[in-house]
Amino acid sequence: MLAFAKQNGIPVRGHCIFWDSPDYQPKWVPSLSPEEIKDSAYKRLQSVVSRYSGQFVNWDVNNENLHFQYYEQILGANATDVFFEMANQLDPSTRMFMNEFNTLEWSGDALVQYVTKIQEIRNLYPNIPTGIGLESPNIPCVRAALDTLASAGVPIWLTELDVSVENGTELQASYLEQILREAHSHTAVEGIVLWAARNETGLDKLIDEWKPQISEGLTDSYGDFKTLLFHGDYDVTINHPSMNSTLSRRFEVTALETSVQNSEDTVVDV
């Protein structure tokens, strides 16, 4: 599977090194002593991360650590911090992620805990590249929740995105499109992974819309031309009907301080 992804230019995430829920441990783990669990955990981390070092875009280090505390209860309160540090030593070029569910749809203390945990890891191990992974968001709180999480100063990925079908498939498709647009437009979001089979017609339509496009048009009577642009580098070429030459400029649309503003605020002086 990894070879197929590489051959087709598909980025791969490492999910996950550990899962902090007691319900998702191998059957033989609960019978071990704390010291044996520690040795087994360290051996797994060493084996898995060493095998795939440099091959993933990011790792989910200890899945759903804010909801569950299995390793903390056995190995100590800083168990996850140690996992992050060890994984980073073995694979320093790959960003290490926290990955949680119910983070966007139920805002409040959970968001604060998320930011606090990220800051705790970065305070202990400041050189570890970290990030935030979010499972299954809902629409009403997405913007506010993303803004809150972005205050941690690390990239955000929507890692297990799905939308309930309880209101019918047409409404489901509409909700999914709204969430995709909301996440894609937020400056802190670097990746989106669908937790479902994809509909090529709908998904490819959005991807085609988001691909870089050539924008052409005429200036108004004041010499202004407006268009919507994504963040990135652009070349602009200006032609005048009474001149045989063209004027070219290069400019950059950068991430703004808040996700409310848009790229129409960019002005290019020529």
- On the CB side of 125, CA atoms within 13 Å amount to 19
Inter-residue contact 192 to 180 (CB < 8 Å):
yes
Judge whether 160 counts as a catalytic residue: yes
Q: How far is CA 177 from CA 104, 200, 202, 221, 259, in A?
A: 16, 13, 9, 37, 18
User: Phi, psi at residue 160, to the nearest 5°?
Assistant: -140, 65
**The residue to which tokens 């990011």 are assigned:** 58
CA dist., res. 138 & res. 104, Å (int):
6
CA dist., res. 31 & res. 68, Å (int):
19
CA dist., res. 59 & res. 91, Å (int):
10
Catalytic-role residue among 120, 160, 190, 264: 160
Compute how many other C-beta atoms are within 10 angstroms of the C-beta atom of residue 134.
Answer: 28
Could you tell me whether strands 246-253 and 232-239 are parallel, antiparallel, or unpaired per DSSP bridges?
antiparallel
E strands present in 89-240: 95-101, 130-135, 156-161, 189-194, 232-239
Judge whether 190 counts as a catalytic residue: no
Catalytic-role residue among 64, 100, 135, 182: 64
CA dist., res. 194 & res. 163, Å (int):
10
Q: What single letter denotes the amino acid at residue 236? A: V
Residues assigned a catalytic role: 64, 160
